[in-house]
Amino acid sequence: MHLYPPINYIEPVFRPPSEANSLILQVTNGCSWNRCTFCEMYTQPQKKFKPKAQADIVEDLQRCALSLTSVRRVFLADGDAMALSFDRLKSILLAIKQYLPSVSRVSSYCLPRNLKNKTVEELAELRRLGLVLLYVGAESGNDQILTKIDKGETFQTTVDALHKVSAAGLKSSVMIINGMGGVNYSEQHALDSAALVNETQPDYLATLVLFFHQAEASFISAFGDDFVMASQRQLIQEMELFIAHLTLEKTIFRSDHASNYLVLKGVLNRDKDALLSMIKRALSQDQRISLRSESSRGL
Ligand code: SF4
């Protein structure tokens, strides 16, 4: 759609791959937590966390209303727009309805802690006002890894937040990072992440591969001496263990983010056997299974 919407962005702006056709509405700048040691998104000085003033958001929407037609989807940026209070989020959703009435889906990243002070009733009201989908970067279900990467969340806080999301009628998309614990924590990471996803039955599940542009050394130093980066083969073996332990009812699964070597897509558990067989073929170096080359991987 509109490659250059008339919005005063504080760059850089990030969004999930599946929001490529959405209008990115920046309602906060940066991330209020900004401590995860693997995250390179909001490190520049201009990205210090700050909510955007309501008047500025309304001005952005008014300009969009004048120049864009048929906007169907809006993604609230940046890293955790859900850090805003219920009242602020309600005002933003009402303004979207007023200026862009064709919008049928609003989505946002969401940290589990963002929902601690929001009730299920409040979230259900945001759902009625157009908020449909929350992307929750769980990263891992293993508490030891979550501490080592300074995620500021645990297995239980993530489960509690995701239960609240579904109780309010919102959809959830959970992200797990393949390789997050390196070689030494790979098994616990796969098993505990599968347990977290099984417990919460998200609508969507995505896996990314741990990937750095610059921060690899500082990540490893924060994690500890026991971090050993997984090889391509070890990453795929970890995915095999993770998928083998999933007991999902109807979750749309994707590992098509640019950081992945092996692209997998399906509905779980329906397609579990097919995905596991594809992984086995990739591990046995079946030439019919193509792996993304190192040079074409990226974020
Ligand atoms: S919560 Fe998300 S955006 Fe914030 S630092 Fe962690 S990974 Fe980055």
Mean pLDDT of all residues belonging to the chain: 94
Give residue 232's pLDDT.
Answer: 93
Q: What is the DSSP string of 89-106?
A: HHHHHHHHHHH-TT--EE
Q: Is residue 71 predicted with pLDDT exceeding 70?
A: yes
**4: in domain:** no
Residue 79: CB within 6 Å of ligand 1? yes
Q: Which range marks the domain in which residue 105 is found?
A: 17-296
pLDDT tens-digit profile of 208-228? 999 888 888 899 999 999 999
**Residue 6 resides in a domain:** no
pTM for the model:
0.95
**% the chain with pLDDT above 90:** 85
pLDDT of residue 3: 52
Which residue minimizes the CA distance to atom 2 of ligand 1? Answer: 79
- Reduce the DSSP state of residue 128 to 3 states and report it: helix
- Rounded to the nearest angstrom, the distance between the alpha carbon of 29 and the centre of ligand 1 is 12
Condensed to tens digits (0 to 9), the pLDDT of residues 147-156 reads 999 999 999 9
Question: What is the number of the ligand 1 atom nearest to the C-alpha of 139?
Answer: 7
83 C-beta closer than 6 A to ligand 1: no
* Band (53; pLDDT cuts 50, 70, 90): very high
Q: Which of 40, 111, 115, 158 to mutate to test the pocket of ligand 1 (most atoms within 8 A of CB)?
A: 111
Distance between CA 20 and CA 207 in Å, rounded? 17
List C-alpha distances in Å: 227 to 36, 92, 212, 275, 294.
16, 42, 15, 28, 21
Report the nearest atom of ligand 1 relative to the CA of 109.
2
Residue 5 lies in a domain: no
Closest atom of ligand 1 relative to the 79 alpha carbon = 3
How far does residue 31's CA lie from ligand 1's centre (Å)? 6
Residue 269 in any domain: the answer is yes
Instruction: Judge whether 147 lies within some domain.
Output: yes
pLDDT of 121 > 60? The answer is yes
- For residue 2, the model assigns a pLDDT of 45
Among 34-48, 69-83, 246-260, 284-298, where is mean pLDDT lowest?
Answer: 284-298
- The reply to whether ligand 1 has any atom less than 6 angstroms from the CB of 36 is yes
Indicate the number of domains in the chain.
1
Over residues 100-129, the mean pLDDT reads 97
The domain that holds 238 is classified in CATH as: 3.80.30.20
- The confidence score (pLDDT) of residue 299 equals 53
Q: What is the pLDDT of residue 111?
A: 97
Answer whether residue 114 is part of any domain. yes
Tell me phi and psi for residue 22, to 5 degrees.
-95, 155
Strands 251-254 and 73-77: unpaired
